[in-house]
């Protein structure tokens, strides 16, 4: 096969007819640079905050200084009278409740009767500039009646009479899930080795570099356009139209270039409702840009969890039982919390076979900023606890951490204990790669004092089986149009939040049509122009949107093939002539029925699961407790790397984020419920110089359900980082750290306890020796 | 984003004009690199109406020269030019290292040595937005009456967080201050105050224009250590600077300074009995013990104060050993 032509819009080898075996070198598997990489690097990309319109107003929020209070009255008259103020907004103007999950509509754009955390939005002011709006907010008079508050899930359980959120049917419980698969207690009673401990996972937040921003504008026909830094344009369109009482068809939601999301932009947020309402109210464009502090209050980050975990192994080191009791601190609103309560248990049942399994999870409302989905939603915390417990239980049987994982491998084309169907599974290969790369066999135990290796594995979903609102329509849709110039335009509803789906769409078009990937325009995430995609969550985008794009392109490829032509453009022209109409095709993706046959059995059911293994090498300074990660080797089974560079980037970014949570990230609150230091100075995320060496390895298991065999790569690779580090710390110095973050003071305390134990043991032996 | 209050920016061209401007405008504040004052203005920490911008003074105050045996550094030298200066790295490695550890590359490029020495003290309860402080109930430094660090405290104990100060203290450096009334040279050890209101002796119409490092500083055995959670863009959880003059293997002079505790950097006192002792591991150990006794970290910084105190002897020992070339 000859080389692809460099230009002229044609990926066709000269002299060959269209698609007669020609394959673009920019198709599947190519290391194509990210399509938005250049504009992000040179600053020319337009984020929501870069948008500006004539007569545009800027709006700011007044927020609650109380963790829990009844609102007796809100008086905006002084704010309205402030020079430069154009309009104000209070809760009674937007009273409808909303939420990303239709069963838990428990939020309001602005509080009407009650505030539920410090930072909850109370009123909004639109003015000629941000400063004026901010000043005017301080002139609003709110009469609060301060209420008793609950700040921990334990307190929330103990004090059902302190009702945080009226949506809760029972006390402060957002959701309680209890599921049991097989006789767990029986299996534990017969076990050869049991590891039973309590683990605590601190809450952390996403910290995307771009703060949330929304710009709303009404046109002459009364149509409303909302530009928002969201990862769920479709759900935002649904919720905003419902709350504002305007038809969905009159509201257009556009997601501009996005500066990071990680799950922190997958809820509808107050600023979207308020920008739209204020635009309608004033007839002028309105922009709301969160400060960094406000991003912390919007939160939706990782749920703090307390986990009582039992892992029981039989005499052969096989997992006989896993019992997990999980208390989840949810914050003031549900967000995806109903799902979190399920994910915390449902996603643990691979890559190992569980003999029996039980989990019991409570997701509680508390008077703090709401938690939600952060990269690895719901499953990062239990995975940490489980992988440490597995090491511990294995050690009691004298099993090497690699061996205990290998021995429990669940296999391919198999059902998990909770009824999920695993198709492809490259976990063993992942394990083998990191074992070799890290020199596990040769180096472990020989690294010297304070240095050690740890391993962990994990599993994650490639999208979920159902949309959040039940319907039979496709979960993802794509429309592809061919121009007679040879230009291909892909209209896709999917949100590129940095994972690179827009680049992959170019590659899929190049692969199927044989065109040059650089001649593909992607029009994305615009509810007027693009078919619906449900949003960038649950690692579903490339998997589902990729299938939809592939289907649409294949329909067109057939027509091009039939038409013939020596260049791509010529093929398009011939095909269009034959068609007698412009060339376009659509594709859609819908999951088949999946999941266990029990209540909640579909939650966590995915058409394909990804698998990951990490080895971490750490060094612990035993005099100070300060530790650092030297290197993490991470192997991830993504099914098929549609673009290996992007997959490696996702692996590296995930490992970084996991290591960051192990190291330093925590949402800390004081006794008032006030978030400690809501800034990137006080809430520290690691910088490049804090980041360990990361080695990413791709494993391809070619899943039958994924596009070209692909599975997810954006969230799974985060999970093992934390337990791998914890297990490496144990290998380095013999302490089991069970609480995140692994602050040096915690490590030092455990080291001293270890020394005290050793001293006591030595004294005891000495004493016994004397008697003998 | 966070907005700035509206202020008038005055742009003097000479030191004389600058101090006249300070004298003429009540409450005026100095704007050098802006890396400290700009975020603090956004936090609403000051009621300033006027900023005296020093950019026009660059040609006057951006120098490094030897005079009368002293090294004199103009106050507008940027942190990055000091961190990267090859002479400094060779002769005054502790100072160069302290500068290199400040913030990140962009901020080092803007920040100045004078600005770092005059850095406002920091506290987790004050360097926050107006909204956050309102939810807290404010504090005695601004808008409130109570201290959230020391129960019943009447003086602000926000922490001296400048990285260059402990090193320059260990060098026994001085600073030159200019006002319309003339100029004066003040030893850095007399420069910092802890009266709860003022952090330095700088009068409202005075400008810090120069840092003077005594003759012979380059022959001191010296080292600096900054304890912090992350390796860049982080204020210190503790700063240590050690400078020891060694002659025939014995300590001739010993200076140990610790900051990020309370309002001013601590100079560890009562070391005279160690003069003449061998400059060895035992000395390092002993310095650790003394520092541990005299330093009481507070909750003004987010990092656990008990742990900071706990590991202080280890950090002092290691820093001393490094200074002595024994680590």
A141 touches chain B (CB under 8 A): no
Please give the pLDDT value at position A560.
97
pLDDT of residue A17: 39
In percent, the amount of chain A with pLDDT more than 70 equals 96
Torsion of CA B131, B134, B140, B143, to 10 degrees: 80
pLDDT above 70: residue B211:
yes
Cβ-contact A451, A618 below 8 angstroms: yes
Cis peptide before B136 (omega within 30 of 0): no
Token code pair at residue B155: 């003086």
Distance from CA of B71 to the nearest CA of A (A): 32
A745–chain B Cβ distance below 8 A for any pair: yes
pLDDT digits (tens, 9 = 90+) for B95-115: 999 999 999 999 999 999 999
pLDDT, mean over chain A? 95
Of the listed ranges A6-10, A84-88, A423-427, A514-518, the one predicted with least confidence: A6-10
Residue A3 predicted with pLDDT over 50: no
What is the helix (H) or strand (E) element at residue A200, kind and residue range? Answer: strand A193-201
Average pLDDT of the segment spanning B41-54? 96
Report in angstroms the alpha-carbon separations of A690 from A384, A642, A656, B152, B228: 22, 30, 10, 38, 11
The count of other CB atoms within 10 Å of the CB of residue A42 is: 8
Measure A666 CA to nearest chain B CA, in Å: 12
Average pLDDT over residues A520-532: 98
**Per-residue pLDDT averaged across B151-178, rounded?**
97
Whether B124 and A689 lie within 8 Å, measured CB to CB: no
pLDDT in tens, A551-596: 999 999 999 999 999 999 999 999 999 999 999 999 999 998 899 9
Mean pLDDT of A380-409: 98
SS3 A653: helix
Q: Each residue of A592-629: pLDDT tens digit?
A: 889 999 999 999 999 999 999 999 999 999 999 999 99
Rounded distance, CA A34 to CA A49, Å? 22
- pLDDT at position A10 over 90: no
- Per DSSP bridges, beta strands A251-254 and A224-228 are parallel
Report how many Cβ contacts below 8 Å link chain A to chain B: 79
Beta-bridge partner residues of A482: A488, A583
End-to-end CA distance of chain A: 84
**In the predicted model, what is the mean pLDDT of residues A432-448?**
97
- Cβ distance B128 to A677 less than 8 Å, yes or no, reads yes
C-alpha dihedral sign at A428, A432, A435, A441: positive
Q: Read off the pLDDT of residues A281-340 as tens digits, 9 standing for 90 and up.
A: 999 999 999 999 999 999 999 999 999 999 999 999 999 999 999 999 999 999 999 999
A23: confidence class by pLDDT, cuts 50, 70, 90: low
At a CB cut-off of 8 Å and minimum separation 6, what does B101 contact? B163, B224, B226
Q: What is the pLDDT of residue B1?
A: 86
Reported as type and span, the H/E element at residue B225 is: strand B221-227
In this prediction, residue A18 has a pLDDT band, given cuts at 50, 70 and 90, of: very low
A740-768 average pLDDT score: 95
Q: Are strands B8-10 and B50-53 parallel, antiparallel or unpaired?
A: parallel
Three-state SS string over A624-645 comes to CCCEEEEEEEEEEECCCCCCHH
The whole-number average pLDDT for the span A426-437 is: 98
- % residues pLDDT > 90 (chain A): 95
Which chain B residues have a beta carbon less than 8 Å from that of A66?
135
Asked if residue A448 has pLDDT above 90, the reply is yes
- Cβ neighbors of A769 (< 8 A, separation 6 or more) are none
pLDDT digits 0-9 by tens, A151-173: 999 999 999 999 999 999 999 99
Given a contact cutoff of 8 angstroms between Cβ atoms, the answer to whether A213 and B1 are in contact is no
HSE at residue A130, side-chain half, CA atoms within 13 A, is 12
> How high is the pLDDT of residue A770?
61
Residue contact B132–A664, C-beta within 8 A = no
> H helices then E strands: how many in chain A?
19, 25
pLDDT at A14: 35
> Cα–Cα distance between B225 and B240 in angstroms, integer?
5
Q: Identify from A59, A151, A623, A688 which residue to disrupt to test chain B contact, counting B C-beta atoms within 10 A and taking the largest count.
A: A623
In the numeric block, which tokens belong to residue A679?
């800034």
Contact criterion met (CB < 8 Å) for B130 and A293: no
Partner residue opposite B311 with nearest CB, options A624, A668, A684? A624
> To which H or E segment does residue B170 belong?
helix B164-170
What pLDDT sits at residue A626? Answer: 98
Res. A24 pLDDT band, cuts 50 70 90: low
Mean pLDDT, range A98-124, rounded to an integer: 97
pLDDT at A20 over 90: no
**pLDDT value of position A667:** 98
How many Å apart are CA B190 and CA B213, to the nearest integer? Answer: 15
State mean pLDDT over A750-764.
Answer: 96
Cβ of residue A450 closer than 8 Å to a chain B Cβ: no
Task: Look at residue A6 and tell me whether its pLDDT is greater than 60.
Answer: no
**Residues A640-686: tens digit of each pLDDT:** 999 999 999 999 999 999 999 999 999 999 999 999 999 999 999 99
> Does the predicted model carry a pTM greater than 0.80?
yes
Question: What is the separation, in whole angstroms, between the first and last Cα of chain B?
Answer: 47
Residue A16: pLDDT above 80?
no
Going by the DSSP 8-state scheme, the letter that residue A28 receives in this structure is T
pLDDT value of position A13? 37
With a CB cutoff of 8 Å and minimum separation 6, the contacts of A317 are A193, A394, A397, A399, A403, A404, A407, A408
What is the average per-residue pLDDT within A112-137?
Answer: 98
Q: Within chain B, what is the greatest distance between any pair of CA atoms?
A: 60
Interface membership of A443 toward B (CB under 8 Å): no
**Interface contact flag, A684 B104, Cβ < 8 Å:** no
Answer yes or no: do B314 and A745 touch at CB < 8 A. no
Return the structure tokens found at B101. 């550890």
Task: Point out the residue among A131, A688, A748 whose CB comes nearest to the CB of B307.
Answer: A748
Q: How many CA atoms lie within 13 A of B166 on its CB side?
A: 33
Whole-number pLDDT of residue A359: 98
Nearest by CB to residue A687, choosing from B5, B231, B306, is: B231
- pLDDT above 70 for A264: yes
Res. B209: pLDDT tops 90 = yes
Phi/psi of residue A183, each to 5°? -80, 85
Say if residue A772's pLDDT is above 50.
no
Res A465: pLDDT: 82
Task: Check: CB of residue B242 under 8 Å from CB of residue B167.
Answer: no
Q: What is the mean pLDDT of residues A539-543?
A: 96
Min Cα–Cα distance to chain B from A686, Å: 6
Please judge whether B233 and A211 are an interchain contact, meaning their C-beta atoms are less than 8 angstroms apart.
no
pLDDT score for A142: 98
Q: Which of B135, B233, B235 sits opposite A674 (nearest CB)?
A: B135
């Amino acid at each position: 096969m000859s080389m692809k032509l460099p230009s002229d819009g044609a990926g066709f080898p000269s002299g060959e007819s269209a698609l007669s075996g020609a394959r673009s070198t920019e198709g599947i598997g190519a290391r194509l640079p990210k399509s938005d990489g250049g504009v992000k690097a040179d600053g020319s990309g337009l984020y929501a905050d870069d948008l500006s319109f004539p007569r545009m107003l800027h709006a700011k929020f007044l927020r609650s200084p109380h963790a829990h209070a009844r609102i007796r009255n809100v008086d905006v008259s002084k704010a309205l009278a402030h020079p430069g103020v154009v309009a104000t907004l209070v809760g009674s103007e937007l009273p409808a409740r909303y939420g990303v999950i239709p069963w838990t509509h428990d939020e309001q754009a602005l509080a009407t009767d009650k505030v539920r955390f410090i930072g909850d939005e109370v009123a909004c002011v639109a003015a000629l500039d941000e400063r004026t709006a901010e000043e005017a907010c301080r002139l609003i008079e709110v009469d609060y009646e301060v209420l008793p508050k609950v700040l921990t899930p334990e307190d929330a359980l103990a004090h059902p009479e302190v009702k945080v959120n009226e949506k809760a049917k029972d006390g402060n419980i957002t959701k309680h899930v209890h599921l049991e698969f097989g006789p767990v207690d029986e299996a534990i009673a017969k076990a050869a080795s049991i590891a039973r401990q309590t683990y605590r996972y601190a809450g952390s937040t996403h910290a995307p570099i771009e703060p949330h921003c929304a710009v709303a504008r009404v046109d002459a026909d009364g149509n409303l356009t909302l530009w928002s830094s969201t990862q769920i344009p479709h759900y935002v369109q649904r919720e905003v139209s419902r709350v504002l009482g305007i038809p969905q068809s009159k509201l257009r939601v556009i997601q501009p270039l996005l500066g990071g999301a990680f799950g922190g932009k997958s809820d509808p947020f107050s600023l979207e409702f308020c920008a739209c309402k204020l635009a309608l109210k004033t007839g002028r464009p309105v922009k709301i840009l969160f400060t960094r502090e406000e991003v912390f209050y919007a939160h939706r980050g990782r749920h703090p969890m307390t986990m009582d975990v039992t892992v029981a192994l039989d005499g052969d080191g096989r997992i006989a039982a896993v019992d997990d009791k999980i208390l989840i601190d949810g914050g003031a609103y549900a967000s995806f919390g109903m799902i979190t309560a399920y994910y915390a248990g449902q996603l643990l049942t691979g890559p190992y076979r569980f003999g029996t399994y039980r989990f019991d999870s409570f997701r509680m409302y508390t008077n703090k900023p709401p938690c939600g989905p952060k990269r690895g939603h719901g499953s990062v915390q239990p995975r940490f606890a489980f992988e440490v417990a597995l090491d511990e239980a294995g050690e009691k049987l004298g099993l090497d951490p690699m061996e205990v994982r290998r021995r429990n491998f669940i296999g391919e084309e198999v059902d998990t204990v909770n009824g999920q169907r695993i198709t492809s599974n490259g976990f063993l290969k992942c394990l083998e790669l990191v074992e070799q790369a890290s020199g596990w066999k040769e180096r472990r135990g020989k690294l010297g004092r304070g240095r050690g290796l740890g391993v962990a594995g994990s599993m994650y979903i490639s999208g979920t089986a159902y949309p959040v609102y039940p319907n039979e329509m496709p979960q993802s849709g794509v429309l592809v149009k061919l121009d007679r110039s040879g230009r291909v335009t892909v209209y896709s509803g999917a949100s590129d939040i940095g994972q690179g789906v827009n680049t992959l769409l170019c590659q899929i078009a190049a692969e199927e049509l044989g065109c040059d990937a650089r001649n593909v325009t992607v029009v994305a995430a615009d509810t007027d122009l693009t078919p619906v995609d449900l949003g960038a969550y649950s690692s579903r985008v490339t998997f589902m949107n990729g299938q939809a794009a592939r289907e649409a392109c294949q329909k067109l490829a057939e027509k091009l093939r039939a038409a013939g032509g020596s260049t791509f453009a010529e093929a398009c022209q011939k095909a269009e002539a034959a068609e007698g109409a412009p060339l376009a095709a659509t594709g859609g993706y819908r999951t088949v029925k999946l999941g266990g046959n029990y209540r909640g059995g579909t939650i966590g059911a995915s058409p394909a699961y990804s698998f990951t293994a990490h080895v971490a090498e750490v060094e612990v300074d035993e005099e100070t407790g300060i530790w650092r990660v030297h290197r993490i080797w991470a192997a991830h089974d993504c099914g098929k790397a549609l673009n290996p560079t992007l997959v490696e980037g996702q692996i590296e970014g995930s490992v970084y984020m996991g290591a960051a949570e192990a190291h330093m990230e925590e949402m800390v609150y004081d006794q008032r419920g006030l978030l400690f230091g809501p800034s990137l100075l006080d809430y520290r995320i690691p910088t490049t110089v804090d980041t360990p060496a990361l080695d990413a390895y791709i494993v391809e298991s070619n899943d039958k359900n994924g596009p070209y065999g692909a599975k997810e790569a954006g969230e799974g690779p985060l999970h093992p980082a934390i337990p791998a580090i914890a297990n490496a710390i144990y290998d380095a110095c013999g302490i089991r750290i069970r609480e995140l973050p692994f602050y040096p003071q915690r490590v030092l305390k455990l080291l001293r306890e270890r020394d005290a134990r050793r001293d006591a043991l030595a004294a005891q032996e000495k004493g016994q020796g004397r008697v003998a | 984003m966070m907005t700035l209050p509206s202020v008038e920016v005055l742009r003097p061209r000479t030191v004389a004009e600058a101090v006249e401007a300070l004298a003429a405008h009540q409450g005026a504040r100095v704007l050098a690199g802006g890396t400290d004052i700009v975020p603090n203005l956004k936090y609403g920490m000051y009621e300033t109406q006027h900023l005296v911008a020093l950019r026009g003074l660059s040609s006057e105050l951006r120098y490094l020269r030897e005079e009368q045996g002293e090294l004199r550094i103009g106050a507008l030298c940027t942190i990055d030019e000091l961190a990267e200066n090859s002479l400094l790295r060779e002769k005054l490695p502790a100072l160069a290292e302290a500068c290199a550890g400040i913030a990140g590359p962009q901020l080092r490029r803007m920040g100045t040595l004078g600005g770092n020495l005059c850095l406002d003290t920091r506290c987790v309860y004050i360097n926050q937005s107006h909204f956050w402080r309102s939810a807290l109930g404010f504090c005695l430094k601004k808008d409130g009456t109570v201290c959230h660090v020391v129960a019943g405290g009447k003086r602000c104990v926000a922490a001296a967080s400048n990285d260059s100060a402990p090193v320059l203290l260990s060098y026994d450096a001085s600073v030159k201050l200019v006002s319309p009334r003339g100029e004066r040279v003040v030893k850095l050890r007399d420069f910092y105050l802890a009266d709860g209101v003022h952090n330095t002796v700088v009068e409202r119409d005075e400008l810090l224009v120069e840092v003077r490092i005594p003759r012979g500083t380059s022959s001191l055995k010296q080292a600096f250590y900054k304890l912090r959670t992350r390796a860049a863009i982080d204020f210190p959880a503790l700063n240590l600077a050690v400078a020891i003059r060694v002659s025939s293997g014995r300590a001739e002079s010993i200076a140990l300074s610790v900051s990020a505790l309370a309002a001013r950097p601590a100079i560890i006192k009562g070391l005279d009995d160690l003069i003449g002792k061998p400059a060895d591991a035992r000395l390092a150990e002993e310095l650790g013990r003394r520092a541990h006794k005299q330093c009481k970290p507070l909750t003004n910084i987010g990092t656990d104060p008990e742990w900071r105190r706990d590991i202080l002897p280890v950090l002092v020992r290691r820093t001393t050993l490094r200074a002595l070339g024994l680590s």
